[in-house]
Amino acid sequence: MEKPGRHIFVCASFRMTGEAMGACKKKGAANLLGYLESELSDRGMDDVTVSTTACLKLCDRGPALIVYPENTWYGNLDESAIDSILDAMESGSVCEKYELN
């Protein structure tokens, strides 16, 4: 298996007890995960892998995700934000509108 060119980590709000209780889950992160996977496939972005994470501690700015190797953090996401982030990734840039500093 080849290593992916990029890896996107989506906060799934999992806590030590194993239950998803944080803001990202409550704000629809699971649905965004499906949308993200679908968009990556539709765009032919086969070198991008997606994984869920434990809580990223960004509850006030969730749903959130991180793109590696760039180490770019994004928050306050919805489907439109995902589209903008993927557009930026395809052009080799960062989507500043949703970037967390």
Q: 38 lies in a domain?
A: yes
For residue range 13-32, what is the model confidence (pLDDT) as tens digits? 876 665 556 688 888 888 89
Q: What is the distance, to the nearest Å, from the Cα of residue 7 to the centroid of all Cα atoms in its chain?
A: 9
Q: What total number of domains does the chain contain?
A: 1
Q: Is the pTM here over 0.85, yes or no? A: yes
Q: Is residue 100 part of a domain?
A: no
Q: What CATH code is carried by the domain that includes residue 40?
A: 3.40.30.10
Q: Which of 72, 88, 80, 89 is nearest to 5 (CA)?
A: 89
The parent domain of residue 59 ranges over 6-91
Q: 100 exposed, middle or buried (CB, 10 Å; 0-12, 13-18, 19+)?
A: middle
The answer to whether residue 101 is domain-embedded is no
Taking only the tens place, the pLDDT of each residue in 30-86 is 889 999 999 999 999 999 999 998 888 888 898 999 999 999 999 999 999 999 999
pLDDT at 88: 98
Q: Is residue 98 part of a domain?
A: no
Is residue 1, in this structure, part of any structural domain at all?
no
Q: Across residues 81-97, what is the average pLDDT?
A: 97
71: in domain: yes
